[in-house]
Chain A
Amino acid sequence: MSSLIQGKFSKWETVIGLEIHAQIKSNSKLFSSSSTKFGSSPNSQVSLFDAAMPGMLPVINEFCIKQAVKTGLGLKAKINRYSVFDRKNYFYADLPQGYQISQYKHPIIGEGAVTIDFKDGSSKDIRIVRLHLEQDAGKSLHDQNPSKTYVDLNRSGVALMEIVSEPDLNSSHEASLYITKIRSILMYLDTCDGNMQEGSLRTDVNISVRKPGEELGTRCEIKNLNSIKFIKQAIEYEAMRQIKIIEEGGIIEQNTLLFNPQLGKTKPMRSKEEAHDYRYFPDPDLLPLKLEDDFIEIIKKDIPELPDERKKRYINEYKLSNYDSSVLTIEKSISDYFDKVLGCHQDLKKSAKLVVNWITSELFAILKKNEVEIHNSPITPYNLGQLVKLIISNKISGKIAKDVFEDMYKNSLSPEEIVNSRGLAQVTNVKEIELIIDQILKLNYDKVNDYKAGKTKLLGFFVGQAMQISKGKANPKILNDILIKKLS
């Protein structure tokens, strides 16, 4: 798949690396026991440590370490047995200590990789450089008061994992696939809630452009993007901006940018004008973190089946396509639903593709229309499984099934209940169908003659008539067979 961008004079390649800041799912903060709950009243989840009161000291949360290791294992990355917490020094209103505790030279997780899948069935590996633990900052509110900035420290000190990729991404599409995949893995692992609206996953984009095969260009960093849509828009805008500058003979200045979603444009951050010098050094309040093999082994046992493994299972066991499998597995909730449907009955495994179709067309459509999440679907996986079973065992036709499906959604009933109460079961009794056919052949005597004279296209007409009388319940194959026999 070519991802080159056509400039005025030549084609350009975009080179993108992402830094994803994922909020760790934990009850308490990284170095204090304040709650991590979202949306509480201002400064209500702030300990003396979080507010950087004099003499307060950090004590690390074991669960956050486990979550980071678990994520590292999920990203098939190197787990570093020795890591160090450093101070990253800078001043900002929502950074109470005047430094952020982070990991610089010795991160807890080293190199790893994730695979992204394209629609055409191809895939690409994106290399991960590292994952490190760090504290989140508080929140500055600039529009509450005309002359003041307000500071809320509730988020200050919440644990983040910063996941840094190599610049292996070459388009906004790839970037969005990559983030979706990372989000998916984190949610399978239950190490991050993946809630982008609440800021649980924020991305810094490093982006440069070059002519294919040439040296890397100067990169710019777009800070703090919190939706996939904005990430795509920002990359597309920024790539074109850089191409335009270079094609017009200018040079790219290394810069930190902000994306304005209203305008769809990037612009340099004003507060970052002066160069930063973070003066990293090992935090003397904390000792190096040493992980024992046992500690890692126990976490390993806790790793669930991840999207790529599930995908493989779907391809191997159910003979699904690569694309279908990745559509199912990217959202854990969809994949879980699918697995539950198949778990209903042994027979469904042979008809997995039919189940996929029902999920990705009918179910997605009706859920979307009603704005319902799949895990809250009124149609339970069991009932959907039963419905598909009715179809494959010829109890109802596909057409009737759609009708039953609507009813299942509206009334949360099982398909059997609906089929029985509404008498929708397919008629497979040959005698019964013969009776219907005899009836329509008698009524349309002239058309029977036409058919016999060679107008075989009329077969469809007879099928339609018979179906109408059977209220769609006649088994189409049996109906067809009898009709042809009687007409010949």
Chain B
Amino acid sequence: MEFNTITESLEKINSNKISIVELNDIFINRIKKNKNLNAFIYFDEENISQQIKKIQSSKKNFKLKGIPLAIKDLFCTKNMPTTAGSKILQNFQPSYESHVSQKLLDQGSIFLGKANCDEFAMGSATNTSYYGNTINPISPRGSQLVPGGSSGGSAAAVAANLCLGATGTDTGGSIRQPASFCGVVGIKPTYGLCSRWGIIAFASSLDQAGVFANNIADTAILLREIAGHDNKDSTSANREIPNYFENLNQDMSGKVVGVPKEYILPDIPEDISKIWEQAIKSLERGGVKVKNISLPHTKYALPAYYIIAPAEASSNLARYDGVRYGFRSEEGTSLDEMYELTRSEGFGKEVKRRVLIGTYVLSAGYYEAYYMKAQKVRRLISNDFNEAFNECDFILTPTAPSPAFPIGEKEDDPIKMYLNDIFTVPASLAGIPGISIPFGKSQNGLPLGIQLLSKHFDEQLVLNAGLYLEKNNV
């Protein structure tokens, strides 16, 4: 049997057609066979069997009973080390469980391991991890493609069927872009829908937890479990969480989809424009009205993001100083020297670059010109979306400007790498939900993703539209 969806597996487990051990063994064996993908930073069979025992001995009515998941290594976990893909957190063992992962544990899911990611979620190719690159499982024979990033380990694990679902975090596209590269579904919910408590911070005003799965139904099931108010996170929204799965409805007739002209870029590959068009046509056939809209400040989203995110990161990463946890350089003799060497040896190149940029844009004399300016532009971008949603119910765009590319490409040019997030960053700045679903293929047969955006807290609508496109794929 295939066992690649949560709905199917839950049905088998609940009707005792398969045991939790048997189900998880299938995935454990796949992980062992696919070690070369380097999708996991931490994987330990003994740890998994302990978890299974605990679930088996419980009488609780779990909603995710025995479901094997991968957890991005940015979520602090009580029973597994947490590194954020960084040397500076090598061997860090949290004494606490992140709010989101705790909710998943509370529903009886099994954590197979900690998924690889870009260091502190800074990257678009899972190539900045101290623990090595993750390889995209869809790589054609003889080549090694990136899985996207930063949640590349999570996306790859789901795509290779090493688990049934995975958590990710998305700051500027870190769920949606790898979902697109690996051919799976990935959702970044509204800012504030899921608690950030216990997730290692990159850029606090943008970071949001989300999930990967093989289809919309599974995504809807997982999203409901991780969403919800948390009084430990002051930015968490106090709202009723709908039952996304039960509410799924692919009847899209009468809805209006917005197609933003600013996302039509001159150097975008033809195959991407093609699947975008096909998706629009597909929706039209389902009774959706197509409306051309304008999001005039789109081209300023990336530059604004690359000021705001590094600024917040430079402050969020100040705590990694070798005093209370993590790596400490042996060399320093004074406190300042210890700090400088610890952080220089403990952080990788991309992290250091961003911390330096972030420090610069906040420093005296530059704050107004860079940071403040970027926050003003952020308001304009957010206003663009507000106005657009007066005219349409949801927005359709490509997820990424290219399919997965070979490992090593774009590494010498940071800006080239940053352009990966060109379609995902605007929604991050506005805090609205976005989902990437696999739609069509590139000329070379690589998966491509389509992005659906909606108003704050209207996750149901992008899930419904996603379901429609999933059923009406090309």
Question: Are A and B in contact, CB atoms below 8 Å, in the complex?
Answer: yes
| Given the contacts A277-B364, A279-B363, A284-B205, A55 and B315 also touching, CB distance less than 8 Å | no
Which B residue sits closest to A276, measured CB to CB?
Answer: B364
Give the segment of A96-104, A203-211, A398-406, A434-442 that binds chain B. Answer: A96-104
Question: What are the interface flags for A206-246 relative to B under an 8 Å C-beta threshold, 1 for contact and 0 otherwise?
Answer: 00000000000000000000000000000000000000000
Q: How far is the CB of B64 from chain A (nearest CB, A)?
A: 22
Which B residue sits closest to A59, measured CB to CB?
Answer: B234
Which listed residue, A56, A60, A96, A286, touches B323 by the CB 8 Å rule? A96
Instruction: Tell me whether B318 and A93 are in contact (CB under 8 A).
Output: no
Interface residues of B in 83-108 (CB under 8 A from A): 84, 89, 92, 94-96, 98
**A219–B339 Cα gap in the complex (Å)?**
31
Instruction: Tell me whether B197 and A55 are in contact (CB under 8 A).
Output: yes
Which B residue sits closest to A98, measured CB to CB?
Answer: B318
Q: How far is the CB of A62 from chain B (nearest CB, A)?
A: 12
* Chain A residues within 8 Å of B311, by CB: 281
Which listed residue, A54, A57, A279, touches B315 by the CB 8 Å rule? A279
Instruction: Tell me whether A97 and B371 are in contact (CB under 8 A).
Output: no
* Chain B residues within 8 Å of A287, by CB: 234-235
Instruction: Tell me whether B234 and A58 are in contact (CB under 8 A).
Output: yes
B32 CB within 8 Å of chain A: no
B232 CB within 8 Å of chain A: yes
**A278–B236 Cα gap in the complex (Å)?**
28
Which listed residue, A55, A87, A89, A279, touches B200 by the CB 8 Å rule? A55
Instruction: Tell me whether B234 and A93 are in contact (CB under 8 A).
Output: no
| Given the contacts A52-B319, A57-B234, A91 and B76 also touching, CB distance less than 8 Å | no
Which listed residue, A52, A55, A99, touches B324 by the CB 8 Å rule? A52
Which listed residue, B201, B235, B315, B321, touches A89 by the CB 8 Å rule? B315
Which listed residue, B197, B203, B323, touches A57 by the CB 8 Å rule? B197
A269 CB within 8 Å of chain B: no
Instruction: Tell me whether A53 and B235 are in contact (CB under 8 A).
Output: no
Instruction: Tell me whether B232 and A281 are in contact (CB under 8 A).
Output: no
Which B residue sits closest to A285, measured CB to CB?
Answer: B204
**A286–B205 Cα gap in the complex (Å)?**
9
* Chain B residues within 8 Å of A277, by CB: 363-364
From A98, A149, A151, name the one whose CB has the most chain B CB atoms within 10 angstroms: A98
Instruction: Tell me whether A55 and B198 are in contact (CB under 8 A).
Output: yes
Question: What are the interface flags for A44-77 relative to B under an 8 Å C-beta threshold, 1 for contact and 0 otherwise?
Answer: 0000100111111111100000000000000000
Instruction: Tell me whether B197 and A54 are in contact (CB under 8 A).
Output: no
Q: How far is the CB of A473 from chain B (nearest CB, A)?
A: 73
From A54, A98, A285, name the one whose CB has the most chain B CB atoms within 10 angstroms: A54
Instruction: Tell me whether A54 and B76 are in contact (CB under 8 A).
Output: yes
Which A residue sits closest to B207, measured CB to CB?
Answer: A284
B199 CB within 8 Å of chain A: yes
Instruction: Tell me whether A89 and B232 are in contact (CB under 8 A).
Output: no
| Given the contacts A89-B362, A279-B363, A284-B205, A55 and B199 also touching, CB distance less than 8 Å | yes
* Chain B residues within 8 Å of A99, by CB: 315, 318
**A96–B234 Cα gap in the complex (Å)?**
20
Instruction: Tell me whether A91 and B233 are in contact (CB under 8 A).
Output: no
Instruction: Tell me whether B201 and A55 are in contact (CB under 8 A).
Output: yes
B312 CB within 8 Å of chain A: yes
Instruction: Tell me whether B94 and A281 are in contact (CB under 8 A).
Output: no
Which B residue sits closest to A92, measured CB to CB?
Answer: B335
Which B residue sits closest to A55, measured CB to CB?
Answer: B198
B124 CB within 8 Å of chain A: no
* Chain B residues within 8 Å of A151, by CB: 323
Which A residue sits closest to B201, measured CB to CB?
Answer: A55
Interface residues of B in 273-328 (CB under 8 A from A): 311-312, 314-315, 317-319, 321, 323-325
Interface residues of A in 147-173 (CB under 8 A from B): 149, 151
B231 CB within 8 Å of chain A: yes
From A48, A53, A279, name the one whose CB has the most chain B CB atoms within 10 angstroms: A279
**A54–B92 Cα gap in the complex (Å)?**
10
* Chain A residues within 8 Å of B315, by CB: 87, 89, 98-99, 279, 281
Which A residue sits closest to B205, measured CB to CB?
Answer: A284
**A151–B314 Cα gap in the complex (Å)?**
23
Which A residue sits closest to B339, measured CB to CB?
Answer: A91
Q: How far is the CB of A453 from chain B (nearest CB, A)?
A: 93
Q: How far is the CB of B271 from chain A (nearest CB, A)?
A: 38
| Given the contacts A54-B319, A91-B339, A286 and B363 also touching, CB distance less than 8 Å | no
Instruction: Tell me whether A54 and B324 are in contact (CB under 8 A).
Output: no
Which B residue sits closest to A90, measured CB to CB?
Answer: B318
| Given the contacts A55-B76, A55-B196, A91 and B318 also touching, CB distance less than 8 Å | yes
Instruction: Tell me whether A96 and B324 are in contact (CB under 8 A).
Output: yes
B359 CB within 8 Å of chain A: yes
**A99–B94 Cα gap in the complex (Å)?**
21
* Chain A residues within 8 Å of B205, by CB: 284
Instruction: Tell me whether A53 and B234 are in contact (CB under 8 A).
Output: no
**A244–B203 Cα gap in the complex (Å)?**
51
Question: What are the interface flags for A270-283 relative to B under an 8 Å C-beta threshold, 1 for contact and 0 otherwise?
Answer: 00000001011100
Instruction: Tell me whether A53 and B321 are in contact (CB under 8 A).
Output: no
Q: How far is the CB of B462 from chain A (nearest CB, A)?
A: 25
**A284–B82 Cα gap in the complex (Å)?**
23
Which listed residue, A54, A91, A286, touches B84 by the CB 8 Å rule? A54
* Chain B residues within 8 Å of A98, by CB: 315, 317-319, 321
Instruction: Tell me whether B95 and A57 are in contact (CB under 8 A).
Output: no
**A87–B316 Cα gap in the complex (Å)?**
10
B367 CB within 8 Å of chain A: yes
**A96–B98 Cα gap in the complex (Å)?**
20
* Chain B residues within 8 Å of A48, by CB: 95-96
**A277–B314 Cα gap in the complex (Å)?**
13
* Chain A residues within 8 Å of B94, by CB: 53-55
* Chain A residues within 8 Å of B203, by CB: 284
Interface residues of A in 271-312 (CB under 8 A from B): 277, 279-281, 284-287
Instruction: Tell me whether A149 and B82 are in contact (CB under 8 A).
Output: no
Instruction: Tell me whether B233 and A53 are in contact (CB under 8 A).
Output: no
**A285–B324 Cα gap in the complex (Å)?**
21
Q: How far is the CB of A154 from chain B (nearest CB, A)?
A: 14
* Chain B residues within 8 Å of A286, by CB: 234-235
28 intermolecular pairs with C-beta atoms under 8 Å apart: A51-B324, A53-B324, A54-B94, A55-B75, A55-B94, A56-B197, A57-B234, A58-B234, A59-B232, A89-B315, A91-B336, A93-B323, A96-B323, A97-B318, A98-B315, A98-B319, A98-B321, A99-B318, A277-B363, A279-B315, A279-B362, A281-B312, A281-B362, A281-B371, A284-B203, A284-B312, A285-B201, A287-B235
Chain A contacts to B: CB under 8 angstroms: 48, 51-60, 87, 89, 91, 93, 96-99, 149, 151, 277, 279-281, 284-287
Lowest 4 A-B CB distances belong to which pairs?
A98-B318, A284-B205, A284-B204, A279-B362
Beyond A54-B76, A55-B198, A87-B315, 13 additional contacts (C-beta under 8 Å) are A48-B95, A52-B319, A52-B324, A54-B84, A54-B201, A59-B234, A89-B314, A93-B335, A98-B319, A279-B363, A284-B235, A285-B235, A286-B234
